């Protein structure tokens, strides 16, 4: 579990803002990136039709196209 220690401030126009220590902000960003990776993986799994191509065959086909 991620532990954060936010500090709340109000700017001159009355808008509330949150400040975090840099290491906590970095941890939050890493967690968000991990969640995005999971979301993209789940999306790709849904679109998987089961077809597979050997990497060597892919390279041959690519080389033939780019001739």
Q: What pLDDT is stored for residue 11 in this prediction?
A: 94
Query: Please, how many CA atoms are within 13 Å of residue 7, restricted to the half-sphere of its CB?
Result: 7
Q: How many helices (H) and strands (E) does the chain have?
A: 2, 2
Q: How far is CA 24 from CA 8, 19, 37, 44, 60, in A?
A: 15, 10, 20, 30, 47
> What pLDDT was estimated at residue 32?
97
**Confidence band for 67, pLDDT divided at 50, 70 and 90:** confident
Q: Take residue 60 and report the two structure tokens written for it.
A: 């041959």
Domain positions in the chain are 7-66
Burial 4-20 (b: 16+ CB within 10 A, else e): eeeeeeeeeeeeeeeee
Structure confidence by residue, pLDDT tens digits, 1-50:
889 999 999 999 999 999 999 999 999 999 999 999 999 999 999 999 99
């Amino acid at each position: 579990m991620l532990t954060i220690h936010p500090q709340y401030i109000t700017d001159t126009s009355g808008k509330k803002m949150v400040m975090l220590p840099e290491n906590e902000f970095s941890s939050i960003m890493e967690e968000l990136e991990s969640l995005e990776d999971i979301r993209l993986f789940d999306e790709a799994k849904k679109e998987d039709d089961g077809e597979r191509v050997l990497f060597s065959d892919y390279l041959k086909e690519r080389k033939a196209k780019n001739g």
